[in-house]
């Protein structure tokens, strides 16, 4: 499996029809451009498959060392850009793990 490309397993997870899985980057505090590109590839795959919604969790911000604030910016900025540039009516949800994550995303999303 190409670790930099998302896959679309057919197993059901709770009420989901699909899970788009891409391996979380182990950034050790130093994310690279390929790490940053993974999220956009998930959006393209979800659109290509006609999915109506997608949820993103925090990008490897725990033990894998991806900086929380940068992870949130990497998530929010391309999603905004992609939604503006595409004709997709997809709903995007950001799933956060902690109150710190929530505050970072709330600030970036203006909520």
28 pLDDT higher than 90? no
Residue 103: pLDDT over 90: yes
pTM, two decimal places: 0.70
Lowest mean pLDDT among 16-25, 56-65, 97-106: 16-25
**DSSP-assigned states of every residue in 21-84:** B-PPP--TT---HHHHHHHHHHHHHHHHTT-SEEEEE-SS-STT---HHHHHHHHHHHHHHHHH
Give the per-residue pLDDT at 70: 83
The stretch 17-40 carries a mean pLDDT of 69
What is the share, in percent, of the chain residues with pLDDT greater than 70? 71
If you search the block for the tokens 């391309």, which residue do you land on? 78
Instruction: Flag whether pLDDT at 66 surpasses 50.
Output: yes
The answer to whether 96 and 105 have CB atoms below 8 angstroms apart is yes
């Amino acid at each position: 499996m190409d670790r930099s490309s998302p896959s679309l397993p057919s197993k059901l997870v709770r009420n989901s029809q699909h899970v788009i899985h891409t391996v979380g980057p182990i950034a050790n505090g130093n994310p690279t451009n390929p790490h940053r590109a993974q999220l956009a590839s998930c959006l393209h795959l979800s659109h290509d498959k006609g999915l109506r919604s997608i949820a993103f969790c925090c990008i490897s911000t725990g033990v894998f060392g991806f900086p929380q604030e940068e992870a949130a910016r990497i998530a929010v900025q391309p999603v905004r850009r992609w939604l503006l540039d595409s004709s997709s009516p997809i709903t995007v949800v950001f799933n956060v793990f902690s109150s710190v994550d929530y505050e970072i995303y709330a600030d970036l999303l203006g909520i």
